Structure 1
Amino acid sequence: MEVVKTIVGFVNTILWDYVLIFGLIGVGIYMTVRLKFPQFTRLFPALKEMVAGIVNKEEVEEGKMTPFQALSTAVAAQVGTGNIVGVATAIAAGGPGAAFWMLISAFFGMATIFSESVLAQKYRETKDGELVGGPAYYIKNGLKSKGLAIFFSVTAIIALGIVGIMVQSNSVAGSVSQAFGVPVIAVTIGLAIVVALILMGGMGRIASFAETVVPIMAGAYILGSLAIIVMNYANFIPAVKSIFIGAFSPGAIGGGVLGITVQQTVRFGLARGLFSNEAGMGSTPHSHAVADTKHPAEQGFTAMIGVFISTFLICTSTVMVNIASGAYNIGISAAEMTQGATVMTQNGFAAGFGSFGGMFLSICLSFFSLTTIVGWYFFAESNVKMVLNAKPVTINAFKGIVLTALVIGTVIDPTFVWELADMFMGIMAVPNIIALFLLSKEVKYILDDYDSKVAVGKLHWEYEYQNIEEKKNNKKSVLRKGLSTTIIK
């Protein structure tokens, strides 16, 4: 087992310290420039459009999601324990300046997630009356590489549908048990029942759950964080100052006591930002692929909102609670603080709300983990359909595997399982990054097509699905996807 742990640790170091930071940030910068900085021009109009869709109560056919439901499902997966515990770990090991680099990664991540979403929309398929899509589908249909698509799907199933489920259920069981004194077995049974009821309802119930719970969950945490910040308003300006100074000169914070280098600050900030918002990881495109929207670019704009919510709002809330409340103590070493990173945010809320603060955070963590379980299951299911061309009986069997992993996860040490999840999610991201770069021309074309149609007030995007039989090595290829754009007269 020690040999396995050593190998996993080595692979994670290569992936998260080098390959993914340069790959994900690199593709984010590249797409930002190529798309002419959509973060500045597209985000707030997309927010306005999303609110209008909620007010008008959009409805869609069975087997599809509304744009807001797709966004909620994506945010359900993006917002998890990493936004609380992970962010605390980042500023513990990289200092307050890590928060600045976390926001930088999110800024460029918006262009990345836009690209993922429009490609997922373009290359999606219909199976058993439901839309399905994601990186495996745009790798297979866009890059014409079925082998690489299968590789992505297998790692996604393991990372999101099995190992990832284990660590999230462990977080729920531990948090609720400690905060409320409920036995772990009771929490496990309750969690398994809730998740089973949601999953048995299929895409429709998952979408309804996400659009109902996610806004309440995120809103409550942000409001609770604002309350702590207001209670410590005198520390607000010093906290912001420590973030900007620490980003470029961490030794200047606390007179150099931290012993943190600029390299550590940048590394932990970028890595945690990328992990928390999942831009470029290849997970969230699965939900954006099934959104019923007039044009793929519109769902791309909506996807950018998910990164904004996950990192700019929720992760920043965690950072400010820790620094402004004094839960993060700049007078002790990074090594000492890292050991206690998991209780930093809890101490921050307890400083303002007393014992209720610990219960409040436990409830938030539980809902964050629950929504992540549901979101990750949905993403994994899309890849099961890709690998096995799955029928309902196969999907039901996979649901059983997921629920088994959920139960096992509540009774094991999560440390090594988290490392496994990091490894498989990192491996999963590599083929996605390759596809985003190679298909960047198509992303640009889709955005230009959108702008040209908005300019004349005739927005329409039409998909044509054709079943065409082709002979190749005595086998039949049954799907060819055509794409056309039409201006409505």
Structure 2
Amino acid sequence: MGYLKEIVNFINTILWDYILIFGLIGIGIFMTVKLKFLQFTRVFPALKKMIIDIIKKKPVEEGKMSPFQALSTAVAAQVGTGNIVGVATAIASGGPGAAFWMIVSAFFGMATIFSESVLAQKYRDVKEGEVTGGPAYYIKNGLKSKGLAMFFAITCIIALGIVGIMVQSNSVAGSVNDAFGIPVFAITIVLTIVVFRILVGGMEKIASFSEKVVPAMAGLYILGSIVIVIMNIENFIPAIKLILIGAFSPEAIGGGVLGITVQQTVRFGLARGLFSNEAGMGSTPHSHAVADVPHPAEQGFTAMIGVFISTFLICLSTVMVNITSGAYNTNISAAEMAKGATVMTQNSFAVGFGSLGGMFLSVCLSFFALTTIVGWYFFAEANVKFVFNSKPRTINIFKTIALIALILGTMIDADFAWQLADMFMGIMAVPNIIALFFLSKDVKEILDDYDRCVEKGKIHWDYECPKLDEKKKKKGSVLREGLSTTIIK
């Protein structure tokens, strides 16, 4: 077992310290330049439009999600224990300056996630009456590489649908047990029943759950964080200074006690930012693929909101709470600080809310983990449909496997499970990055097509291909010509 752990650690070091940091940041910078820095001009108009659509309750076609439901499902997966415990670990190991590099990764990640979303929209498919899509589909249909698509799909199933679910259920069980003293077996039973009821409802139930729980979950945590920061408002400006100074000169903080180099600060900030918002990882396109929008670019804009929420709002909330409350101590070395990183945020809330602080954080962690389980399962199921051609019996078997993984997850040592999840998530990101680079021309064409539509005053993507042979029309098939996508019903 020890030898296996060493192998996994070695692979993770290669992936996360070298390949993925350069690959994910590189594709983010490449797409940002190619798409002319769309982060500055598209996010807030998309947010405004989404709010209007929510108010108007725009109807959605059967077998699809609304843009907000797709975003909520994506954010459900993006926002997990990593946004609390992982961020605390990042600033403990890389200093306050790591927060600055998290923001940098999120900025470029917006261009990456836009690209993933529009490709998922363009190359999506229909399985058993439901729209489905994701990297496996645009690798196969766009990149024309079935082997690479199958490789991505299998690693995604393992990373998200099995190992990922195990570590999230472990987080729920541990957090609730510590805060409320409820036995782990009781937590396991309740969690299994809740997840089972959601999963058996299919896409509609998952979408409904996500759009209700995710906004409440994120809002509650952000509100609690704001209260803590206001209670320590005198430390707000000093906290900002620590972040900015620590980003470029970490040795200047605490008289050099931290023992952190610029390389460590950049590494932990970028890696944690990329892991928390999942831009480029290949996970969130599965939900954006099924959104019912008039043009793929619109869902790409909406997808960027997810990165904004995950990193700019929730991750930064964790950072500011830890620094302003004094839970992060610049007089303690990074090595010592990292040992207590898992309880750092808990201590931050305890400063403001006393014993209720631990309970509050436990509730937030539990909902974060629960929504991640649901989101990751949905993403994994899309790949099960891809690998096994959407056979209902296979989907039901996979639901059972996912629930077994959930139960086992509450009984295992989390450290090695997290290492396995990191490894498989890192491996699945590699073919996705390759596809994004080689399909970047498609992304640019889709954005340009959207802008031309806006100029003409009409946004319309789906239409009957005029050159389509009537004999080729088959129910449930997806037919394309140029940039158009038509689903035959």
TM-score by length of 2: 0.96
- The alignment status of 1:461 with 2:461, answered yes or no, reads yes
Q: Say yes or no: does 1:169 pair with 2:193.
A: no
**How far did 1:340 drift?**
0.4
Q: Deviations over 1:262-281 (max 9, x none)?
A: 00000000000000000000
Is the contact between residue 464 and residue 483 of structure 1 (CA under 8 Å) also seen in structure 2? Answer: no
Matches within 5 A, 1:73-152: 73-152=73-152
Q: Match of 2:123, as an amino acid?
A: Y
Deviation per residue, 1:332-358 (Å, 9 max, x gap): 111111110000000000000001110
- Secondary structure of residue in 2 paired with 1:322: helix
Alpha-carbon distance between aligned partners in 1 of 2:396 and 2:482, rounded to the nearest angstrom: 33
Give secondary structure in 1 for the equivalent of 2:61: coil
User: Structure 2 matches for 1:376-387, cutoff 5 A?
Assistant: 376-387=376-387
Residue 275 of structure 2: aligned partner: 275
Q: 1:228 to 1:134 in 2, by over 3 A?
A: same
Whether 1:306 and 2:306 are equivalent positions in the alignment is yes
Q: 1:482 — aligned with what?
A: 481
* Residue identity opposite 1:324 in structure 2: T
Structure 1 Cα separation of the partners of residues 145 and 479 of structure 2: 14
Partner secondary structure for residue 139 of structure 1? helix
Classify 1:418/1:228 alpha carbon distance in 2 versus 1 (closer, same or farther; 3 Å): same
User: Which AA in structure 1 matches 2:181?
Assistant: G
| Structure 2 partner of 1:291 | 291
Matches within 5 A, 1:225-240: 225-240=225-240
Alpha carbons 1:462, 1:484 under 8 Å: kept: no
| Conserved 8 A contact 1:464-1:484 | no
1:443 maps to 2:438: no
Specify the alignment match of 2:332 in structure 1. 332
Are 1:346 and 2:346 an aligned pair?
A: yes
Q: CA separation in 2, counterparts of 1:173 and 1:238?
A: 36
Matches within 5 A, 1:307-456: 307-456=307-456
1:105, 1:417 → 2: CA distance?
25
**TM-superposed deviation, 1:479:** 7.2
Residue type of the alignment partner of 1:435: A
Partner of 1:198: 198
1:157 Cα deviation from its structure 2 partner: 0.1
State the identity %.
Answer: 77
Larger mean CA deviation between 383-392 and 309-318 belongs to 383-392
Counterpart AA for 2:452? S
**Aligned-residue offset at 1:62:** 1.9
Stretches of structure 1 that go unaligned for 5 or more consecutive residues are: 471-477
Count of paired positions: 479
1:350 maps to amino acid: A
d(CA) in 2 for partners of 1:439 and 1:294?
Answer: 21
**Distance in 2 between residues matched to 1:285 and 1:69, nearest whole Å:** 13
Deviations 1:446-482 (A, max 9, x none): 0000000101101100166989999xxxxxxx97643
Tell me the amino acid that sits aligned with residue 225 of structure 1: S
- CA shift in 2, pair 1:261/1:467, >3 Å: farther
Question: In structure 1, how many angstroms separate the alpha carbons of the residues matched to 2:484 and 2:314?
Answer: 38
**Structure 1: how far apart are the matches of 2:162 and 2:469?**
34
Structure 2 CA distance for aligned equivalents of residues 313 and 468 of structure 1: 50
CA distance in structure 2 between the aligned counterparts of 1:263 and 1:62, rounded to whole angstroms: 50
Q: 1:428 to 1:70 in 2, by over 3 A?
A: same
Distance 1:445 1:484, change over 3 A: closer
Per the TM alignment, residue 394 of structure 1 is displaced from its structure 2 partner at its CA by 1.1
SS at match of 1:121: helix
Contact 2:446/2:483 (CA < 8 Å) preserved in 1? no
Report if the CA contact (8 A) 1:463-1:483 is conserved: no
SS in 2 for 1:76: helix
| Counterpart amino acid of residue 343 in structure 2 | V
| Partners of 2:327 and 2:348 within 8 A in 1 | yes
State the SS of the aligned residue for 2:19: helix
Q: CA deviation at 1:2?
A: 1.2
The residue identity in structure 2 corresponding to 1:77 is A
* Partner residue, 1:247: 247
Give the aligned partner of residue 224 of structure 2: 224
Distance 1:158 1:401, change over 3 A: same
C-alpha contact 1:155 1:424 (8 A) present in aligned 2: yes
Residues of 2 paired with 1:352 and 1:174: CA distance?
23
Q: 1:12 to 1:365 in 2, by over 3 A?
A: same
d(CA) in 1 for partners of 2:166 and 2:58?
35
After superposing the two structures, state which structure 1 stretch, 50-59 or 267-276, moved more: 50-59
In the alignment, is the contact (CA less than 8 A) between 2:327 and 2:344 conserved in 1? yes
Question: What is the DSSP-based 3-state SS (H/G/I as helix, E as strand, rest coil) of the residue aligned with 2:390?
Answer: coil
Q: Structure 2: state its 5+ residue gaps.
A: none
Judge conservation of contact 1:113–1:279 (CA < 8 Å) in 2.
yes
Counterpart-to-counterpart distance in 2, 1:409 and 1:396: 20
1:120-157 Cα distance to aligned partner (Å, 9 max, x none): 00000001000000000000000000000000000000
CA distance in 1, matches of 2:20, 2:66: 32
Contact map agreement 1:460 1:485 (CA 8 A) in 2 = no
